[in-house]
A and B are shown apart, each in its own frame.
Chain A
């Protein structure tokens, strides 16, 4: 079945440094790759997404890259701030079934 792997599970960075989270997916039909930020006890919030016809997308301090051939996609957060501390999930879905499969999550700690 569909599977999304996410690394690392925990990431600790100093404020101002960059953070990179990587994911791989198994279903070649996947064509939509959202990233979510989830704070404790709250719903996931979409922070950025990328579609399969695009290789890179940037929104201020956040960027996402996609390599369809290798089935890899990554989240890059630059100039990290303490409020970036949260759990980040990558996900993959497709226009066929629309269901979203999530990675295991990365707990990001940004130290002031």
Chain B
């Protein structure tokens, strides 16, 4: 299967700072990547669809100014959590699909802790 790499796997930051998470497709090009958030013992909630070369599409209730998404190339999407608060602490995970294919490949996730 295809490989999606996410970095960092864990990050601790102070309230008010910003954190950037990277999602890379290592062996294929992905025009579309997805960002999810997962709270403990809960499901993966889709936050936004990241489109290469254009603006991300955010799901209802997700603040686009707080969760900045940039998809500058066909192999890299970044999620920046701005002015982080403790309630932003969560497991963030990205996924990508090869063009015209349905199967999604997931990154290993990033556990963010805001203190």
A: residues with CB less than 8 A from B are 1, 32, 34, 41-46, 49, 51, 89, 93, 95, 97-105, 107
Nearest-neighbour CB distance to chain A for B57, whole angstroms, equals 9
Specify the chain B residue showing the minimal Cβ separation from A33. Answer: B102
Q: Which of A51, A95, A100, A104 has the most chain B CB within a 10 Å cutoff?
A: A100
Q: Complex formed: what's the CA distance from A102 to B111 in Å? A: 19
Q: Contacts of A105 on B, CB cut-off 8 Å?
A: 42-43
Q: Which 6 A-B pairs have the closest CB atoms?
A: A32-B102, A43-B106, A102-B44, A104-B43, A102-B43, A43-B108
B: residues with CB less than 8 A from A are 1, 32, 34, 36, 41-46, 49, 60, 91, 93, 95, 97, 102-104, 106-109, 111
Nearest-neighbour CB distance to chain A for B111, whole angstroms, equals 7
Q: Contacts of B106 on A, CB cut-off 8 Å?
A: 43-45
Q: Contacts of A51 on B, CB cut-off 8 Å?
A: 102
Nearest-neighbour CB distance to chain B for A69, whole angstroms, equals 21
Cross-interface CB contact of B34 among A41, A100, A107, cutoff 8 Å: A100
Say whether A97 contacts B43, CB under 8 Å.
no
Say whether A101 contacts B46, CB under 8 Å.
yes
Q: Contacts of B34 on A, CB cut-off 8 Å?
A: 99-100
Q: Contacts of A103 on B, CB cut-off 8 Å?
A: 43
